[in-house]
Structure 1
Amino acid sequence: MEFGIFDVLRIIGALGFFIYGMKVMSEGLQQVAGAKMRQVLGAMTNNRVTGVMTGFMITAILQSSSATTVMTVSFVNAGLLSLVESAGVMMGANIGTTITGWLVSLIGFKVKIASIALPIIAIGFPMMFVRNQKLKKWAEVIIGFALLFLGLAELKNAVPDIKGNPEVLSFLTEFGGGGFLSRLMFVGIGTLLTIVVQSSSAAMTLTIVLTTQGLPIDIAAAMVLGENIGTTITAELASLVANTTAKRSARIHSLFNIIGVTWMILIMPYFLDLLTAVFPPPTDGDANKFTLAAFHTGFNLLNVLILLSFVPWLVKTATRTVKSRGEDDDEYKLEFLDKGIFAASEFSIVEATQEVAKFGRITLKMSKMLSEFSNTEKEKKRAKLISKLEKFEEHTDEMEEQIAVFLVRVSESRLSHTSSLEITGMLSIIGDLERIADIILRMARDIQRLNKRGLSFNKRQKDNLNKISLEVDEALRIMVTNLEENWTKVTIDEARNKENEINETKVQLRKEQMKSVEEPGYNVQSGIIYKDIYSGYEKLGDHIINVTEGIIGEKLEV
């Protein structure tokens, strides 16, 4: 059999065609159902069993286990899922990804989808130009579906006929019948194939096509096991720059697949005999594709049933193997959600909102530190507090930049209208949060300048500043609560009332100061800084209400 570089390129091109079709279809489904999928993932993971069902359902709908696993790592990183809950979702995703094998086996070979692919595109194409955003996204789903099966048709034509070349078949059979080591070798090939194409579904499809061309079922099954290991690479890559908990979630996924593959390699001949009895292959070997699909589903189902009760052990093992980095683990590193072929842009917004809420909590902490700094008389403690505030402010500058870069990159993807509005709101919010941090540091430096001159505020001034400081802290607390809440449920009344209260206090303090200027012994220098401080608190109130308005603005525009 002659097989040159051009034939290799044909297979790679056909595989790319298939992957691109799946990518378009998957991204379209994410845009149509992304928000719902996020709600489902957050609401249906109370225990391991519902977690498995959720992972299965989301993966079966989106046709991308990569999207589900990356989304799960994102939720863990954002603190919305525990390790135990994420383990169930990952397991369910493994079962959900087997749907692709059945789809290809049942439809891709029996029904000549490729022959009606162009009419399908003809239906979807006009929908791309309508005003209705949802119809546009459905157009992508329809066109992606057609492209997927066009790619499958090309893949079938590009893959060499193994059955028609007895020498190749005998060579493969010789390797396939070599026992545990030969199975291990083909597991490695399957793993490598999945790592290269970054899609277990595409690797599985190629294996099914090879099976129809004469690849022995035991070799194909070993490759499928390897593809199960290869798919864990996506979650591992997604967690590389995430926090320790997200890394542990990805490690659980890897452990689950590696343990499952290990026990299945040992019993694979017996398991295949059982499946062959259920799906007896005819002389032309066409039933092998059904046997392979059944093997893929059966293995993942059994693995889930066996390891579901061992989830606590998997969590402990992942915790032991992925050590905490201590304080460094609180660093805000966001750029990790589009490491694979499938960019889960709709789902990455979940982590971004959590990072923005974390940003808000930092500003509240800075405000409390400012109050402590203002009231302490100890020079050493003052030096320590101002140093902390300077570090926090530098950190907020980096956070604003990281979050903004991340959001801009996500916005370049095809997003739903709701998600686009969320991103616009978040970009506005992080600007206000960074400004809050700037103002707090500036106020601390004003007080430091006063102290260095050997001056201080009188008791009345201190009491007034403490009063408006408490009001601002309460406004920040309301703001953080709103950021942590489901943004569609946020109302502005409480935040608006508190902002009005801060404004009224500022007006009252200004009037009082104007009267005190006429009093004997009034210190002009401390009075100027006093005015700067309470005016700074009023400015903080303006930016704080802007944050809630950014949340509400996103809600009202949907």
Structure 2
Amino acid sequence: MDYVNIIIPFVGGLGMFIYGMQIMAQGLENAAGNKMKSLLEVLTKNKLMGVLLGAAITAVIQSSSATTVMVVGFVNAGIMNLSQAMGVIMGANVGTTVTGWLVSSVEWAEFLSPSKLAPIAVMLGVVIMLIGKRRSSKEIASIIVGFGLLFIGITTMSSAVAPLQDSESFRNIFVTLGSSPILGILAGALVTAVIQSSSASVGILQSLAAAGLVPFSAAIYIIMGQNIGTCVTAMLSSMGAKKNAKTAALMHLLFNIIGTVIFSVIAIIYFEVLNPSAGTGVITQTEISMVHTAFNIGTTVLLFPMSNWIIRLAKKIGRVEEAEQDKSKVLLDDRILETPVIALQSTVKEVARMGRIVEDSLDVARNVLFTKSHDDIQFLKDEESTVDRLSAGITAYSIKLSSLQISEREHQDVAHLLQMVSDIERISDYCENISEFAETLYEKKVTFSDIGKEQLEEMLDVCIDSYKYALRAFVEGSREMALKVIEKETKADDLEITLRSRHIKRLTNNQCNTEAGIVFLDTLVCLERISDHARNIAEEVLEQIA
């Protein structure tokens, strides 16, 4: 038998299958757009929501490995705790069954015959890609082309292995895998670990099944092994990460191993004791999809009540305890960049978190000039250091994000975020300046006059409110809030001129302490600039939602 003419087309078909799957997944991911972005909103919900989230993301990006790698990134960044991660991991196993059903559809949907539909799909997608001008057209074209290439790939693989139907030795290999559960599981795990995609591994199995080469029992054990092999990607990804992230990858491995052990015992009892003849029959592509889906859903349903126990076991093996998150640590991870739309939404959330830290600083700065509290002065200095670290980390991450293959709109969103980060960081600097002014007042044992204090409180209220409206405008995407910022900033400009003029008259008439008066004027400058930066943020929001 000419194995060269079998292996080369088979490998080429596998490459086309994987490439088509990636193109289709990218198109689906881009088309999902805002829906994908909003998925992060449910991360704080219960574990069942996590399962649904994991299934949804994996169904879109068509890779449980990529989803789990992303989960490792979330845990490493501190965005997700281990309980939330467990739910997403379980859901990822369910979502990965979608590709298998696409492949097997050629058996239960005649009109999806690859020989007829795949070339048409590729040609249609290319035409749309060439003539379509809108972004949505390009995304639809990617989905259609990827769909066609996926089917051409699976057809090429099936055709390549067809001559093996006459090979007694090749058939004996699968008979051996079917009669030896451990060998079958190891074979599935090894192939999946090498190509790092359970969807592609299932596709290979289905192409062999189409040639009538795979016994039912062998397929069962290989599928179980594939679920273990897909854990390799996440385990490799967790290398160099924090213990919590390594524990998330370990949870994925334990979940699949426990599920495999349970269902392998059931399969052995059925094939060896209850119905030995059932394992010798040849399995079809559709039956592989059914087994794959039943195994993954069954494992999730069975182990869902035991998920907390799996988390505890993984933590015990990994010797980890979840610690309180350091708020100065940037909650972003390079692993999340595998899915740019979610990485962008994570960046938005991190900018909002940075913004809330500065909001807290402004609340303290509102009174520190009058109380001259040492604790408040130190708090503002510490918070400024925290914001500096966040600003540097978010900026570096945003630059990495902008270098990826993202849409023009997403490039613009990243540019807006970078500008907002700069403005928020500058406002934090002014909060530190105010703390230094308070320190000066304390050291020189001076204070503002009653009228000076009253006027400064008025300016503080206007400028701090302008920032709070700006932050709300950013978080909520609110045009109304952004317009309020512009209104407040205009008022702050006028107020700064008025109060400066009045204060200079008081200084001229010796109605206030000179040293306190200098601090008063410097504070007016800081507050007016805070309102300027708040307006900058509002204008970025208005451009974004235009």
Output the TM-score relative to the length of structure 2.
0.82
Shift, 1:83, TM fit: 6.1
Equivalents in 1 of 2:2, 2:236: separation in Å?
38
Cα pair distance change 1:431/1:233, threshold 3 Å: farther
Shift, 1:184, TM fit: 3.5
Q: 2:435 aligns with which of 444, 450, 462?
A: 444
Equivalents in 1 of 2:277, 2:332: separation in Å?
48
What is the aligned partner in structure 2 of residue 351 from structure 1? 346
Contact 1:457 1:530 in 2 (8 A): no
Equivalent positions of 1:153-552 (< 5 A) are 153-157=155-159, 162-171=164-173, 173-174=175-176, 176-178=178-180, 183-212=181-210, 214-233=213-232, 252-270=251-269, 285=282, 287-314=283-310, 322-328=320-326, 331-338=329-336, 343-371=338-366, 373-377=368-372, 381=374, 385-386=377-378, 389-416=380-407, 418-448=409-439, 454=444, 456-460=446-450, 461-485=452-476, 487=477, 491-520=481-510, 523-552=513-542
Cα pair distance change 1:45/1:404, threshold 3 Å: closer
What is the aligned partner in structure 1 of residue 94 from structure 2? 95
Contact 2:351 2:421 in 1 (8 A): yes
- SS of aligned partner of 1:334: coil
Shift, 1:147, TM fit: 1.9
Q: 2:137 aligns with which of 132, 135, 138?
A: 135
Aligned Cα root-mean-square deviation (Å): 4.1
Greater shift in the superposed pair: 98-107 or 411-420: 411-420
Shift, 1:26, TM fit: 0.6
Q: What percentage of residue pairs aligned between the two structures are identical?
A: 28
Cα pair distance change 1:29/1:539, threshold 3 Å: same
Shift, 1:363, TM fit: 1.3
Could you list the per-position Cα deviations for residues 520-551 of structure 1 after superposition, in whole angstroms to 9, with x for gaps in the alignment?
37554543332122210111111123223322
Cα pair distance change 1:135/1:175, threshold 3 Å: closer
Shift, 1:250, TM fit: 5.6
Cα pair distance change 1:108/1:76, threshold 3 Å: farther
Equivalents in 2 of 1:275, 1:550: separation in Å?
68
Cα pair distance change 1:77/1:351, threshold 3 Å: farther
Contact 1:276 1:291 in 2 (8 A): no
Cα pair distance change 1:195/1:375, threshold 3 Å: farther
- SS of aligned partner of 2:33: helix
Cα pair distance change 1:305/1:466, threshold 3 Å: same
Greater shift in the superposed pair: 37-46 or 96-105: 37-46
Q: What code does the residue aligned with 1:96 have?
A: G
Equivalents in 1 of 2:266, 2:272: separation in Å?
10
Could you list the per-position Cα deviations for residues 212-270 of structure 1 after superposition, in whole angstroms to 9, with x for gaps in the alignment?
45244434332322222333455566777888887776665444323212211222234
Equivalents in 1 of 2:87, 2:511: separation in Å?
71
Contact 2:355 2:424 in 1 (8 A): yes
Equivalents in 1 of 2:75, 2:480: separation in Å?
23
What is the aligned partner in structure 1 of residue 153 from structure 2? 151
Cα pair distance change 1:241/1:498, threshold 3 Å: farther
Shift, 1:517, TM fit: 2.1
- SS of aligned partner of 1:135: helix
Greater shift in the superposed pair: 424-433 or 191-200: 191-200
Equivalents in 2 of 1:474, 1:76: separation in Å?
35
Equivalents in 2 of 1:273, 1:41: separation in Å?
46
Q: What code does the residue aligned with 1:535 have?
A: V
Could you list the per-position Cα deviations for residues 43-64 of structure 1 after superposition, in whole angstroms to 9, with x for gaps in the alignment?
6996665654554455445534
Cα pair distance change 1:134/1:464, threshold 3 Å: same
Contact 2:178 2:279 in 1 (8 A): no
Could you list the per-position Cα deviations for residues 419-471 of structure 1 after superposition, in whole angstroms to 9, with x for gaps in the alignment?
4443232222112112212232344345546666x363433445544443344
Contact 1:71 1:347 in 2 (8 A): no
Shift, 1:357, TM fit: 0.8
Equivalents in 2 of 1:326, 1:385: separation in Å?
24
Equivalents in 2 of 1:479, 1:376: separation in Å?
27
Shift, 1:120, TM fit: 2.4
Could you list the per-position Cα deviations for residues 272-317 of structure 1 after superposition, in whole angstroms to 9, with x for gaps in the alignment?
68999999986xx3x3433322221111121122223334545555
- SS of aligned partner of 1:209: helix
- SS of aligned partner of 1:331: coil
Q: What code does the residue aligned with 1:295 have?
A: V
Contact 2:372 2:438 in 1 (8 A): no
What is the aligned partner in structure 1 of residue 124 from structure 2? 123
Equivalents in 2 of 1:274, 1:35: separation in Å?
52
Cα pair distance change 1:371/1:204, threshold 3 Å: same
Cα pair distance change 1:479/1:317, threshold 3 Å: farther
Contact 1:66 1:199 in 2 (8 A): yes
Could you list the per-position Cα deviations for residues 104-133 of structure 1 after superposition, in whole angstroms to 9, with x for gaps in the alignment?
123289755256534322222232242222
Could you list the per-position Cα deviations for residues 137-172 of structure 1 after superposition, in whole angstroms to 9, with x for gaps in the alignment?
111111111222232233335559554332344355
Equivalents in 1 of 2:152, 2:275: separation in Å?
30
Equivalents in 2 of 1:417, 1:36: separation in Å?
18
Shift, 1:96, TM fit: 2.6
Q: What code does the residue aligned with 1:519 have?
A: N
- SS of aligned partner of 1:456: coil
Equivalents in 2 of 1:125, 1:72: separation in Å?
34
Cα pair distance change 1:362/1:241, threshold 3 Å: farther
Cα pair distance change 1:468/1:185, threshold 3 Å: farther
- SS of aligned partner of 1:326: coil
Greater shift in the superposed pair: 9-18 or 81-90: 81-90
Equivalents in 2 of 1:338, 1:155: separation in Å?
32
Contact 2:219 2:288 in 1 (8 A): yes
Contact 1:275 1:294 in 2 (8 A): no
Equivalents in 2 of 1:279, 1:498: separation in Å?
77
- SS of aligned partner of 2:260: helix
Contact 1:450 1:526 in 2 (8 A): yes
Contact 1:49 1:88 in 2 (8 A): yes
Greater shift in the superposed pair: 256-265 or 84-93: 84-93
Contact 1:436 1:543 in 2 (8 A): yes
Equivalents in 1 of 2:176, 2:538: separation in Å?
68
What is the aligned partner in structure 2 of residue 106 from structure 1? 105
Could you list the per-position Cα deviations for residues 35-86 of structure 1 after superposition, in whole angstroms to 9, with x for gaps in the alignment?
1244467469966656545544554455343555566677788998776666
Contact 2:121 2:144 in 1 (8 A): yes
Output the TM-score relative to the length of structure 1.
0.80
Q: Name the count of aligned residue pairs.
A: 539
Contact 1:337 1:345 in 2 (8 A): no
Shift, 1:19, TM fit: 1.5
Cα pair distance change 1:324/1:314, threshold 3 Å: same
